[in-house]
Amino acid sequence: MPPLELPSVEWSQMAPELILIVGALALLMAGTFRREKSMVSGACIFTIATAVAALVASAGLWHDVAGGRGGARLVMADALVIDGFGIFFTVVICCAVILGALLAHGYLKQERLEAPTFFVLMLLSASGGLLMAKANDLIVVFLGLEILSIALYVLAGYHQRREQSREAAIKYFVLGSFSSAFFLYGVALTYGATGSTNLGAISEFLRSQTVTQGVLLGGFGMLLVGLGFKVAAVPFHMWTPDVYQGSPTPVTGFMAAAAKAAGFAALLRIFFSAFGNQRLDWQPIVWALAVLSLLVGSVLAVVQTDVKRMLAYSSISHAGYVLIGLQAASTRGIAGSLFYLLAYTFLILGSFGIVGLVARKGDNLTGLDAYRGLARSRPGLAFAFTVFLLAQAGVPFTSGFLAKFYVISAAVESHSYAIAVIAMMAAVVAAFFYLRLIVVMYMADDQEMAGLGPTAGAPMPAPLNVASVDGGGVGTAVASAMMATKVEIPFAAGLAIGACAVFTILAGLYPQPFLDFARHAAILLL
């Protein structure tokens, strides 16, 4: 028997992923040996240190890639690619880990949940996200997708005592498995059409091919379904509101940021890079997905009375904006998508961080009601939320404005005027519900709420079977009693929210370094 030829393994090139995985395993071991209360802070700090180490390792790689020493390269038998694009997402996902861990710290203490496992799952899912961003092979994308998702399924149901949390986990798991199956089917069809799962080989094959086969189109479609589910693009968004609402709030923030980033990393790389030659085939589909996400996301957000659900719908419309960048299929478009995701990560984590704090003990107060008068009781928190909401609405001198500007400029540059106008109109609709939340925080007295359409005063629809907003174990009387208590701001969560707010304003005032980063990452897409 001839000796089995093993591919060479470039360990140093995979440093960020390895650091996260090793960190996760170490934390898991530590967690089994020690079970004290103090573990929350220790585990949180360890997680952050791990993510920072991964960031440092990425900085080294970025230096290599951008600084000319070899540039972008393929490693691990061409299964992974080390390029600016992948490193960009490494940075985004690691930032999400750091911020998510800070937000989770207070939450885990307050809800008395076991700490180490939570952070282990977070690190593992992040490593899956990293793999997705750097995969050069559809099978590796799938591996990353599963590592990311399985950890997230567990995280969604992490608060076992809350019915909503368990329900969210089941929903996410069932629908997520379906979408993974779609993705795999797409991989199979693509393999059938092109003879390879390697993105480079696929791209090579498609370059020599002028006629598009039905099988390949089927493959495109299936891959798009699978990844569209992860990024919560309409019409694959059905799970989003329920899962976002039911999951523990820090998990929601992390999920909204990291899973979306990873999903888009794979989506952008597969379609722009590997299927770039066939863009005329997929551009109309992406166009439709983008428009649907924009409209459905912002219109349905308007009728929500639960802030978590509202942010879930708004994150759907954000996915639409990122898709605009892909639809443009230009370097500017990809750079726009990247910058959008960077800005979005901080916005959404900050927003959900605040939602988590306002929800108070039990994680139940997420109705608009709970925000009434927040500006008086917690002016700092209200101000930070205002910054995030205005940025999401696209108000100037915030990162959110530049992000929208970037993707829309890419659309206009490629003469997609219709989608640019639709996107701006969706932004106007979206502005309505962001503003409504600001009104509740700053201006609302009881009688004025009447003029605001569906507000906290109106009866709640029951979005989950078992749970209305006040549901779970907390009765209405208890809820209103809790609403009277002042929102507590744990140090770690305050730090995370502050960092998000500072980034949002800083990137709005002095965007050059971040724009450069996104542009370089887009250029260095192999």
Partner 1 sequence: MSETLPILTLLVVLPAVGAAVVACMPSDNERLIRIVGMSFAVIVALLSIVMLADFKAGQGDFQFLSDHVWVRDFGISWKLGVDGISLFLVVLSGVLFPIAIIGPKVHHDVKGYVAWMLLLEAGCIGVFLSLDLFLFFLFWELVLVPMYFLIGGWGYDRRIYATLKFFLYTMVGSALMLVGILAVVFLHRQATGTLTFDVVTLAKEQSLASSTARWLFMAFAASFAIKVPIFPVHTWLPDAHTEAPTGGSVILAGIMLKLGTYGFLRFGLYLFPQAAVDLAPVFLTLGTIGIIYGAVVATMQKDLKRLVAYSSVAHLGFIVLGVFGLSQQGMEGGVLQMVNHGVSTGALFLLVGMIYERRHTRQIAELGGIQRVAPVFAGVFMVVMLSSIGLPGLNGFVGEFLVLIGTFVTHRWWAVVATIGVILAALYLLWAYQRVFHGRAEGANAAFPEMTMRERAIMAPLVILIVFLGVYPRPVLDRIAPAVHDLVSHVEAHSDYRQPAVAAGEAR
Interacting residues toward partner 1 by CB under 8 A: 390, 395-397, 401, 405, 408-409, 412-413, 417, 420-421, 424-425, 427-428, 431-432, 435-436, 439, 442-444, 448, 451-452, 511-512, 515-516, 519
Residue 190 or residue 305: which is nearer to partner 1 going by CB?
305
Cα of first residue to Cα of last residue in the chain, in angstroms, is: 37
Min. distance of Cβ 437 from partner 1 in angstroms? 12
Nearest to 146 by CA among 274, 24, 263: 263
DSSP SS3 for 367: strand
Nearest distance from residue 425's CB to partner 1, in Å?
A: 6
- Residue pointed to by tokens 């597969």: 270
Please report how close the Cβ of residue 384 comes to partner 1 at its closest, in angstroms.
13
Distance of closest approach, residue 490 Cβ to partner 1, in angstroms? 24
Strands 73-75 and 80-82: antiparallel
Measured from the CB atom, the residue of 51 and 391 that comes closer to partner 1 is: 391
Q: How far apart are CA 104 and CA 173, in angstroms?
A: 22
The residue (of 99 and 456) whose beta carbon lies closer to partner 1 is: 456
Contact 119, 101 (CB under 8 A): yes
In angstroms, give the least distance from the CB of 414 to partner 1: 9
Q: Between 111 and 413, name the residue whose CB sits nearer to partner 1.
A: 413
- DSSP per residue over 420-472, as a string? HHHHHHHHHHHHHHHHHHHHHHHT--GGGGGGGSS-TTSPPP--SSS--TT-T
Label residues 344-362 b or e (16+ Cβ within 10 Å = b).
Answer: bbbbbbbbbbbbbbbbbeb
CB of residue 428 to partner 1, shortest distance in Å: 5
Of residues 257 and 403, the one with the C-beta less far from partner 1: 403
Q: d(Cα 148, Cα 489) in Å, to the nearest integer?
A: 30
DSSP letters for 242-259: HHHHHS-HHHHHHIIIII
Q: Kindly tell me which of 171 and 332 has the beta carbon lying closer to partner 1.
A: 332
Residue closer to partner 1 by CB (options 176, 320) is 320
Least Å from the CB of residue 435 to partner 1? 6
Kindly state the smallest distance separating residue 347's Cβ from partner 1, in Å. Answer: 17
Maximum CA pair distance of the chain?
84
The least CB distance from residue 402 to partner 1, in Å, is 8
DSSP 274: I
In the complex with partner 1, which residue's Cβ is closer, 72 or 515?
515
Determine the Cα–Cα distance for residues 77 and 496; give it in Å rounded to an integer. 39
* Shortest Å, Cβ 309 to partner 1: 21
CA 511 – CA 405 distance, rounded (Å): 12
Q: What is the three-class DSSP state of 83?
A: coil
Confirm if 206 and 278 have CB atoms less than 8 A apart. Answer: yes
Compute the distance between CA of residue 67 and CA of residue 293 in angstroms, rounded to an integer. 38
> Cα–Cα distance between 406 and 341 in angstroms, integer?
11
